[in-house]
A and B are shown apart, each in its own frame.
Chain A
Amino acid sequence: MLTFAAACAALSACISTNDYDSSAPRLIDYECHHGDYELNGAADVTSGLTADSCAFELGPAQGSVHFDLPLTTSFEALVAVNGSDISSWTTQNATGGTVSNTPGQRLRVLDIRVRRSQGNCD
């Protein structure tokens, strides 16, 4: 019983401190305006949520965009897939500061962010 209580206490402490510190929105604009990115294959820079913001279009052939970032724990991209107007944050195509598409897929990269865990439960 005591062991179970101690495990619960440890778990709750872990959950309560396992929030993330995150970079602010529109990191993609900062990278874009400073030229801190590299395009490969079927990739292009365009305007994003507004006419004065940045986004990247990948596809339909293989393409990728790499951002020069000091990565910490995780890198995520806000993307819309295959002409869909529904966006979501994903790590699926985003690793090590690079976002890529699979051949035949059109991907719009609308923002990026870097996150770092606050807790000690990694």
Chain B
Amino acid sequence: MGRSWVAHGVPARLAALCVAFAAQVHAGPEPALPPPPSPPSSPTAAPYYPPPPTAATEGLPSYYFAPAPSDAPRAKELPAWSFRFGLAIGSTVSSDHEDTLNLDGYGGPRSGFDLSGWRSLGSTVGLGVRTSYRLRRLDGGSSQLANFPNAPDYSEDIVLGGATLPIWLGDEDLAFILTPIVGVGAGKVSFYGDGRWQAGPLFGGSAGIYLPHLHFGCDLGFDTIPVGKSGAADGRNNFGMLYLDARGGVRCPLAGARGASCSPSLRRALR
């Protein structure tokens, strides 16, 4: 009876889109140039550097003779500040409540929206916060027998907040980011709009790819929020989720790039 976005392949398509996008950005559109000339082995070997233009190097742009990339200011750290908005879709974690709900004819994925921010604490680690709103609306279906009532819709509303510790492995082009989270979650489940709020501790984390120069990433995450029984005759419930999340936003500014302003990821992506 419940609609299943998972069955329609929405998470798989979102994952494929993220991977394809990352591969496209990582490959980069820069044309191949011939290797730069080698610097002189000693100050006396040649009177000056760079060497005078030849037929092979004439017409190349001036930056072609710039110092080696290792000398250029290139950020390889987390942004000093990061603010991102994310969309998530996924499945609920196993619980007695969910098992009984499925037996009763209700089932389907959970969606979420989240806002997150972090402050860089070093070259590979930061400290941040994340807040999320998750929801689920499940259609109970119609009675197949005449003179029997149709089912009510099942609804869930969940909010959560927690502290995150993003850990970064990679470079300016593409990075792998691990983000453990600890916090609290609260939610309400109901058939008739009159459920009661329940709260519980939140533990979890996410792992995914992150494109620092675009400030965009995709994560696969898991968290658990055990909350006990939602009704007197219910089993234990859990507001946790296994999810795929796409996040984008602004960074303010790049660590090591003094004076840079916040850069919307969309503007940079379109550049």
Interface residues of A (CB under 8 A from B): 21-27, 29-30, 46-53, 55-57, 70, 72, 78, 80, 85-89, 108-111, 114, 116
Contact = CB atoms under 8 A, between A and B. Distances in A.
Interface of B: 1, 96-97, 99-101, 103-106, 140-145, 147-152, 154, 189-196, 230-236
- State the main secondary structure of chain B at its contact with A: loop
A52 B192 contact: yes
Given A46-B233, A85-B96, A52 B103 contact: no
Contacts, number: 121
Contact of B144 (A21, A47, A80, A109): A21
A86 B147 contact: no
Given A25-B1, A52-B191, A78 B104 contact: yes
A22 B104 contact: no
A88 B151 contact: no
B145 A87 contact: no
Given A25-B106, A50-B189, A50-B191, A85 B235 contact: yes
A21 B154 CA distance: 22
A89 B103 contact: yes
Contacts of B191: 26, 29, 49-50, 52-53
Nearest to B231: A47
Contact of A47 (B101, B145, B232): B232
A22 B145 CA distance: 6
The 5 closest A-B pairs by CB, nearest first: A85-B235, A55-B233, A85-B96, A24-B151, A21-B144
Contacts of B195: 50-52
